[in-house]
Chain A
């Protein structure tokens, strides 16, 4: 197999066009406008966060970038050149790898078996061709090490890893197989506070290695510390595409939550008794400190 050698990441000069530019992308499903005129950019070595609640169009956007869906309007530009992804393979060939929420890993299998699943390096010939386990283990350990994870034992089933570490296996695998641009679909949503922090660290690490990252989330507290650029979606429309210098965490949260709506909800909950009232009061405090 190819791709087993260690890739070199060359830092592009500053004036280069963005690694990926999304220009006025629109997607319709029948009469439903799923995405309307969405634009943003992703630079090498930067993290672009896509924020939005359920139904905002985040998944549709990912699927367009991953080549699952084709946009009905607008353009994708890779390194400044228009690109069209008819299949997921096209996107992968352009170096765009998507790590979905289910991670596409098999919990009962060892880490190194998962890492190379579907692209196993082989040695030997003819009927004696076999899975090069030694190489697979070595590369797995190295790639995971580059992500800052010292794996105890590549023979460990992935199921015994924590949620964050599993995420890292999927990310390291995408990087190893040639991804320049990583799309992470809600990598922190199913994780506890600590694990989410670990995943954020991996995102930063990937960024520092010169990869472009698109980080999909509904949590501004996860997005803000790692993001360089923020695209906010709501019901298929863009609420804005901001550089970090243009927006604060408080504003981001307000925009995400829909400001006034959240306040109304907080008041409503506060009137309740017991736990519900408690939640409402906290929420109200939050919105007040934010606005």
Chain B
């Protein structure tokens, strides 16, 4: 066996290290991160300082946390257009329950989680049951929740926002967990960055090292073939939608605790950035291929660019142009990679 292994390994080297590297889904995003960091760091002192790093990592983390489950879902072959709005739903739910209905903070936190998981379950259940594209199902959820967020908030508060969460008992303990800062090099790094790194590692572990991860790849790659060999594709899909909703709960509450107020209309449009980060990170829109680490690197690209453009003193209006170009380049690179991966070596 060892002899055979050695011989086989020898041949692997012949297949080409470059090709192997090119097939890594996160390669494009990694190159992007390096290029963009070098570009802005060369031009701006602020950007390359500790405080600057804290700033762009902070912006990246909000996006990156959501990009993790969104990437997993995309690898599993689906989208969730309601992901952005769900963050608002989660925050608003906690806010209304605590500040208006007087429910204890942790209790409302848990109820909010249950609510979000239910939303995720509904998304996943409808997608698996009807067989309709997740684009349509979650577009419905997106519009519905948008209306619900605004409607309920106005009904209960007579305003379009919920605030004063910092006056609720227990706030400070939660604030320490979700929204405190760590001082490194004299700059305050929000703790959300650590959560982001942790969840990226966890997501990547689940995807690459567990049975569920194998099923994610399979469900996205070929649902029929997967079903034929006993993969529970329905459960996998529902689980993925619930993971997105879980993270929306986490992110929505973190933001709410941090800024102490939340707008009923917040989160709208963010879902497209999550998807863009996942695609830049090497996830195929058609599913079956991608990387969680790549998606987080994609989010880092966004964060660095958004902050970097301001740091070098450009008009921030250009940010979206950049994002658009970046996305197109990433999709082209992905298509190339996929062709390489599917290519037959006859």
Residue in A103, A131, A142 whose CB lies within 8 Å of B209:
A131
A204 to chain B, nearest CB (A): 22
Interface size class of B (residues with CB under 8 A): 35 or more
Residue in A109, A118, A153, A160 whose CB lies within 8 Å of B217:
A109
Residue in A129, A152, A160 whose CB lies within 8 Å of B343:
A160
A157 / chain B contacts, CB cutoff of 8 Å: 23, 341-342
Chief secondary structure at chain B's binding surface: helix
Instruction: Judge if B190 is at the interface, Cβ distance under 8 Å.
Output: no
- Render A217-251 as a binary contact track against B, CB cut-off 8 A, 1 for contact: 00000000000000000000000000000000000
A141 to chain B, nearest CB (A): 7
Instruction: Judge if B310 is at the interface, Cβ distance under 8 Å.
Output: no
CA distance A150 to B338 in the complex (A): 25
User: What residue of chain A has the Cβ atom nearest to residue B217's Cβ?
Assistant: A109
B346 / chain A contacts, CB cutoff of 8 Å: 162, 195
- Check B11 against A160 for contact (C-beta < 8 Å): no
User: What residue of chain B has the Cβ atom nearest to residue A151's Cβ?
Assistant: B8
Instruction: Judge if A267 is at the interface, Cβ distance under 8 Å.
Output: no
A153 / chain B contacts, CB cutoff of 8 Å: 8, 11-12, 15
Instruction: Judge if B229 is at the interface, Cβ distance under 8 Å.
Output: yes
B6 to chain A, nearest CB (A): 12
Task: Please give the number of chain A residues whose Cβ is less than 8 angstroms from any Cβ of chain B in the complex.
Answer: 35
- Render B1-42 as a binary contact track against A, CB cut-off 8 A, 1 for contact: 100110110011001000000010000000000000000000
Q: Which residues 110-151 in A have Cβ within 8 Å of B in the complex?
A: 113, 116-120, 122, 129-131, 133, 138, 141-142, 145, 150-151
| Given known A106-B226, A108-B289, A152-B12, contact A113–B214 (CB-CB < 8 A) | yes
B5 / chain A contacts, CB cutoff of 8 Å: 141
Q: Which residues 326-346 in B have Cβ within 8 Å of A in the complex?
A: 338, 341-346
A159 / chain B contacts, CB cutoff of 8 Å: 341-344
User: What residue of chain A has the Cβ atom nearest to residue B290's Cβ?
Assistant: A108
B202 to chain A, nearest CB (A): 10
CA distance A150 to B10 in the complex (A): 12
Given A109-B221, A162-B346; 6 other pairs, CB 8 A cutoff: A108-B221, A119-B230, A145-B4, A157-B342, A159-B341, A160-B341
Give the 5 A-B residue pairs with the shortest CB-CB distance, closest first: A118-B230, A106-B221, A118-B229, A159-B342, A104-B228
B binding-site residues for A, Cβ under 8 Å: 1, 4-5, 7-8, 11-12, 15, 23, 205, 209-211, 213-214, 217-218, 221-222, 224-226, 228-231, 284, 288-289, 338, 341-346
A binding-site residues for B, Cβ under 8 Å: 100, 102-109, 113, 116-120, 122, 129-131, 133, 138, 141-142, 145, 150-153, 157, 159-163, 195
